[in-house]
């Protein structure tokens, strides 16, 4: 019950009935993903196992989160947690890496260096819930497309905004992370839980490598992660 509830509450704006019961939540996820995965409830299977069914690989296409793929660069390391900084230059066009739905838009850079709240370090940011069930978080935007709205469906390669240096950063770049969606406002899961660079490498090479299975395994290994993250100031 906990894992289903934690996944759904944060997406209440997208489907208001998803938090009623585990069964309702599972049904709402399936409807929301629009056929990308199928869940059949069984009395002898736990809610967590049913939720991980939603992360099975799909035919959702993948692409780099920048329009100018040829000139983009990134490395295999990042601070103290899994994420990838993509460098291309101030004003570079940022695009959706997947077909999915906008699950978060932050148009105001509220980061204050005197406070250094981890929740605001990304500055202006956008999160996409892919049709594969995975959350893709893009941060440090300069501008965000004015018509981009919560709940809006986007396609791979669709423009989201431009690269900047909002939030805690010293140079224009894109912070790109991959994680499961969480229900409440949190930062430690959203900032990244698996390494994106192998997927970026694959997508740049034209390979359609999905991170869904790795995220699925992370959820199984860290069943209380979203709740723990929400409890962190």
pTM for the whole thing?
0.77
Going by pLDDT thresholds of 50, 70 and 90, the confidence category of residue 33 is very low
Regarding predicted confidence, which is higher, 19 or 134?
Answer: 134
Residue partners of 148: CB distance under 8 A and separation at least 6: 102, 105, 126, 154, 160, 161
What pLDDT, on a 0 to 100 scale, did the predictor assign at position 148? Answer: 97
CATH of 84-207, one of 2.70.70.10, 3.40.630.30, 3.40.50.1000, 3.40.50.300: 2.70.70.10
d(CA 97, CA 215): 16
Mean pLDDT, the chain, rounded, equals: 81
Tens digits of residue pLDDT in 69-82:
999 999 999 888 99
Count CB atoms within 10 A of the CB of residue 41: 11
Torsion sign (Cα): 56, 155, 123, 205: positive
Q: Is the pLDDT of residue 24 over 50?
A: no
What pLDDT, on a 0 to 100 scale, did the predictor assign at position 223? Answer: 94
d(CA 212, CA 128): 14
3-state class (DSSP) for residue 167: coil
**DSSP conformational letter for 99:** S
Domain with CATH 2.70.70.10 in the chain: 84-207
d(CA 141, CA 172): 9
What are the structure tokens assigned to 117, written together? 């709240």
Going by pLDDT thresholds of 50, 70 and 90, the confidence category of residue 59 is low
Regarding predicted confidence, which is higher, 219 or 15?
Answer: 219
Tens digits of residue pLDDT in 82-116:
999 999 999 999 999 999 999 999 999 998 999 98
What pLDDT, on a 0 to 100 scale, did the predictor assign at position 118? Answer: 87
């Amino acid at each position: 019950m906990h894992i289903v509830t934690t996944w759904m509450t944060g997406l209440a704006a997208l489907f208001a009935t998803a938090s009623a019961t585990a069964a309702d939540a599972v049904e709402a996820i399936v409807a929301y993903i629009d056929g990308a995965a199928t869940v059949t409830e069984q009395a002898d299977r736990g809610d967590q196992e049913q939720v991980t069914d939603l992360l099975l690989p799909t035919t959702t296409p993948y692409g780099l989160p920048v329009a100018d793929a040829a000139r983009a660069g990134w490395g295999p390391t990042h601070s103290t947690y899994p994420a990838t900084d993509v460098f291309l230059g101030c004003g570079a066009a940022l695009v959706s890496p997947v077909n999915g739905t906008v699950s978060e838009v932050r148009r105001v850079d509220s980061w204050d260096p005197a406070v250094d709240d981890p929740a605001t370090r990304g500055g202006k940011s956008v999160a996409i819930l892919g049709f594969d069930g995975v959350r893709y978080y893009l941060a440090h935007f300069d501008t965000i497309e004015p018509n981009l709205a919560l709940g809006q469906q986007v396609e791979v390669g669709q423009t989201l905004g431009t690269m900047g240096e909002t939030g805690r950063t010293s140079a224009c770049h894109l912070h790109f992370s991959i994680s499961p969606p969480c229900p409440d406002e949190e930062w430690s899961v959203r900032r990244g839980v698996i390494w994106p660079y192998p997927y970026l490498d694959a997508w740049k090479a034209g390979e359609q490598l999905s991170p869904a299975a790795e995220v699925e395994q992370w959820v199984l290994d860290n069943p209380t992660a979203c709740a723990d993250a929400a409890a962190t100031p």
